[in-house]
Amino acid sequence: MTTMSETAATPNRVWFGLGVLLAIAGLCGHLFAAHAIGGSYIAYRDHIFGWTLILIVTGLLIAAAAVTGLTARKSLLICVLIRSASSRFSLM
């Protein structure tokens, strides 16, 4: 007989699913933007490269936060991630 805890989704599985969903949505946004500016090979290449770069940088930041123990202090982690994202766009 299975218990309720075995059949319920764990919070880690929910967060992982949400992360995958947001990554796919981000990729779709980049592909739509590449199509909107002309749909050339260079536009698609640059947008996919930018999405990949953002994914890697954000993943490294989250991994570093997990290693250093910042995940217990979620408000600080969110501030760090927002700050890194805003500094990336201030270079333009």
Cβ proximity of 26 and 54 under 8 Å? yes
52 neighbors 38 (Cβ within 8 angstroms):
no
Q: What is the pTM (predicted TM-score) of this model? A: 0.63
Per-residue pLDDT of the chain (92 residues; tens, 9 = 90+): 555 555 566 777 887 788 888 888 888 988 999 999 988 999 999 999 999 998 898 888 878 877 777 666 666 667 766 766 665 554 44
User: Among residues 92, 61, 91, 67, which one has the least CA distance to residue 79?
Assistant: 61
Domain residue limits, the chain: 15-89
